[in-house]
Amino acid sequence: MSTPQRLQRAFVVLLTGALFIGGCRPAIQTDRTAPPDIVYDIDITHPADDLFHVTVQTRNLRPENNVYNFAATAPGTYSILDFGRFVKSFSVFDANGKPINVEQISTNRWRIEDPEHVALLRYDVEDTFDAEVSEHSVAPMCGSGIDTTYAAFNTFSVLGYFEGLQSSPIRMRIQYNPDWMIGCAMDVDESGFYVAQTFDRLADCPVLVGQLTFAETQVNDIDVEVYVFAPDTAVSAPKVLTLADDVLQSAGEFIGYSPVPYYKFLMVLLDGPTFRRYGLTSAGALEHSYSSLYVLPTSEQDLPELRSTMAHEFMHILTPLNLHSEIIHTYNFTVPTPSEHLWLYEGVTEWVSDIMQLRSGLITTEEYLQQVSQKLRVNDGFNKDMSLTQMALTVYTPEGGGQFGNVYNRGAVTATYLDIRLLELSNGTRGLRELFLDLLDQYGKERPFPEDSFFSVITENTYPEIGEFIDSYIRGSKALPTEEYLGRLGFRYIAQRPSADERPSFGVPITVNEDREIIVANVPEESIESGFQEGDVLLRLFGTELNLANAREVFNSILTMKVGDPYEVVVRRKGQEMTLQGKLLRRMSRHVFEDMGDLTEAQRALRERWLRNH
């Protein structure tokens, strides 16, 4: 356990039961010439009530600090969160314990009548893992969970900030079972307080506390720690790190330096029954500058699948931590404000997590191209007329939100082709990796790039042809040049051919909409006669109601049937239910790559340069 953890645990042992002895509150004197002082306290010593008990001690507030805000959204989530929905009580007191009037003026905002005399806020927040909401469900890695053996939370899911004080220093302490271990990437002062210079920094530090396992390694000069909560004792931090250490080391090789001093993986790896008990219908990981929070259903057999996810989240230490737009430099937690450069933050990061494994020898060229093929197949299920920038700018709307998942697919494939184009134009000396690292030198954590002119910056730092590429494939929705670009590396592209796998196929690509419903992504020509339409919601298949929990099991039953077998499916279209009759089809292989074998000198030279860091 690191020194900050030992300090924090020792401090909490002293605090438990001693924060407000006998219900007394400290007499906080107001100094109107001094800056406001803010201390958060989060009590999770009573997990059975499923609440985070929060107190905020403060003094020296000004009249303009009269609103306490909870986050409507948060960095990296790209969705409406509205954490004010989960607040169950909210009270404000002066230094003598006398209540001060407070009014909730919107979902996430509480107006305080007399802020200059405020000494204490007290409120309770429900955890989001098993909370029932009618809309805008919160993905677990973006929210909070509390149980008898652990608690995991993003600080922005339980803490708010006073109007006008988003950039003010903050202290925080956490009361928890002294036998538990804690993982958090925030600095700790000599008194055991977590400290942050701004609310943005506080919001950048999720917390995992409980009966955890721990492991650590070194990547370049970065101290990397892994904290895992798992009901299954076969799943542990040492096992996770053993499986992922090589991919983390390859990340270090790709970067070539250490942009952060430390990094913490915080993982809630639940068994199937626990995951279903919470009623969770989504899972994943959320990146932060010095850490990432994972909530996943995971068995020992699933652990290898964490490798690429950990690589992706770890590489966010490059962007948006260091390379980011002025739009997100000081984040707007109350009004969702999109940046058009989501293609960079997520698409390029996904490309990095794949290409670094290829260039370090962890995966073969064939395996890398299989990943490209898979991303192209997923891309087939999304709206190809929506550009990457349009997707980003509408991400908080139903239209754009429904397309967001494709940034990890089309965005990453676009980055693959941008890399090839850069290598071609520079005679193999400067690809996307080199451009990325040069931009990190030009900008950085405290120097954001201009939102509106960043594409011009890229073009000025490269070639006019790259401006044309951006206009066609990032700003525009022109069909991706797969055959042309992979052909330059000596790979033959086959859009579609019959699969060697003779098991039948449902015949219609499916995806998930923002309401977590299973829908028809698009209708291939061979399935048109079945009557499907894009956007149909699949309700029942083979007489079984479909949902995310049982979809894999239901669709796997198709594998025991034969090509041509009929099936009946009930769908909802424009509010009306209807029954469709379909037939199982021959499985097709889409987006196939083959080595051309006899390469030209230009193809051979470009491929060799593509396969290595320069």
Band the pLDDT of 158: cuts 50, 70, 90: very high
Average pLDDT over residues 555-562: 90
Q: Are residues 202 and 216 in the same domain?
A: no
Q: Are residues 304 and 223 in the same domain?
A: yes
Band the pLDDT of 254: cuts 50, 70, 90: very high
Residue 29 sits in a domain of what CATH number?
2.60.40.3650
Please report whether residue 453 resides in a domain. yes
> What total of structural domains would you count in the chain?
4
Band the pLDDT of 511: cuts 50, 70, 90: confident
Q: Could you list the beta-strand ranges (E) of 84-203.
A: 87-93, 99-100, 102-106, 109-112, 120-126, 144-146, 150-153, 161-162, 170-175, 181-184, 187-188, 194-196
Q: Are residues 457 and 332 in the same domain?
A: yes
Q: Are residues 114 and 241 in the same domain?
A: no
Euclidean distance between CA atoms 214 and 227, whole angstroms:
5
Three-state DSSP class for residue 421: helix
Q: Are residues 113 and 200 in the same domain?
A: yes
pLDDT value of residue 1 = 39
Average pLDDT over residues 36-42: 96
pLDDT value of residue 579 = 94
pLDDT value of residue 517 = 87
Name the burial class of residue 572, with classes exposed (0-12), middle (13-18) and buried (19+) by CB atoms within 10 angstroms of its CB: middle
Band the pLDDT of 31: cuts 50, 70, 90: low
pLDDT, tens digit, 9 for 90 and up, residues 45-74: 998 899 999 999 999 999 999 999 999 999
**Among 268, 296, 317, which residue terminates a domain?**
317
Whether the predicted pLDDT of 229 surpasses 90: yes
Q: Are residues 123 and 49 in the same domain?
A: yes
Whether the predicted pLDDT of 378 surpasses 70: yes
Name the burial class of residue 453, with classes exposed (0-12), middle (13-18) and buried (19+) by CB atoms within 10 angstroms of its CB: exposed
Within 223-300, residue ranges assigned H as helices are: 237-255, 272-278
CA 2, 289, 124, 116 torsion-angle sign:
positive
Q: Range with the lowest mean pLDDT among 28-32, 406-410, 519-523, 569-573?
A: 28-32
Please report whether residue 613 resides in a domain. no
**Residue 595 CB coordination number (10 Å):** 14
Average pLDDT over residues 546-550: 86
Q: Are residues 470 and 545 in the same domain?
A: no
pLDDT, tens digit, 9 for 90 and up, residues 75-129: 999 999 999 999 999 999 999 999 999 999 999 999 999 999 999 999 999 999 9
Question: Strands 544-545 and 291-297: what pairing?
Answer: unpaired
Whether the predicted pLDDT of 502 surpasses 60: yes
**Among 209, 237, 260, which residue terminates a domain?**
209
Three-state DSSP class for residue 118: coil
Average pLDDT over residues 406-420: 97
Q: Are residues 438 and 329 in the same domain?
A: yes
Please report whether residue 14 resides in a domain. yes
Q: Range with the lowest mean pLDDT among 265-269, 519-523, 570-574?
A: 519-523
Domain span holding position 58: 1-209
Euclidean distance between CA atoms 249 and 219, whole angstroms:
6
Q: Are 54 and 127 in contact (CB under 8 A)?
A: no
pLDDT value of residue 509 = 83
Three-state DSSP class for residue 38: strand
**Among 289, 317, 345, which residue terminates a domain?**
317
pLDDT value of residue 13 = 35
Three-state DSSP class for residue 437: helix
**Residue 98 CB coordination number (10 Å):** 11
Band the pLDDT of 4: cuts 50, 70, 90: very low
Residue type, 128: T
Please report whether residue 29 resides in a domain. yes
Euclidean distance between CA atoms 41 and 19, whole angstroms:
9
pLDDT, tens digit, 9 for 90 and up, residues 425-481: 999 999 999 999 999 999 988 999 999 999 999 999 999 999 999 999 999 999 999
CA distances, 418 to each of 26, 406, 532 (Å): 60, 17, 36
Q: Are residues 524 and 474 in the same domain?
A: no
Residue 525 sits in a domain of what CATH number?
2.30.42.10
Q: Are 385 and 323 in contact (CB under 8 A)?
A: no
Please report whether residue 598 resides in a domain. no
Q: Are residues 482 and 335 in the same domain?
A: yes
Q: Are residues 107 and 131 in the same domain?
A: yes
Q: Range with the lowest mean pLDDT among 233-247, 249-263, 517-531?
A: 517-531
Whether the predicted pLDDT of 29 surpasses 60: no
Please report whether residue 546 resides in a domain. yes
CA distances, 200 to each of 77, 144, 206, 571 (Å): 14, 18, 12, 44
pLDDT, tens digit, 9 for 90 and up, residues 174-204: 999 999 999 999 999 999 999 999 999 999 9
Q: For residue 100, what are the contacts with CB-CB under 8 A and spacing of at least 6?
A: 92, 93, 94, 112, 113, 114, 117, 118
Please report whether residue 614 resides in a domain. no
Euclidean distance between CA atoms 12 and 42, whole angstroms:
11
Report the chain's mean pLDDT, rounded to a whole number.
Answer: 91
pLDDT value of residue 516 = 75
Percent of the chain at pLDDT above 70? 94
HSE toward the beta carbon, residue 193, CA cutoff 13 A: 13
Paired residues of 195 in beta bridges: 171, 187
Q: What is the C-alpha radius of gyration for the chain, rounded to an integer number of angstroms?
A: 26
Omega before residue 47 within 30° of 0, cis: no
Q: Are residues 335 and 277 in the same domain?
A: no
Please report whether residue 611 resides in a domain. no
Residue 238 sits in a domain of what CATH number?
1.10.390.10
Average pLDDT over residues 29-54: 86
Band the pLDDT of 399: cuts 50, 70, 90: confident
pLDDT value of residue 181 = 98
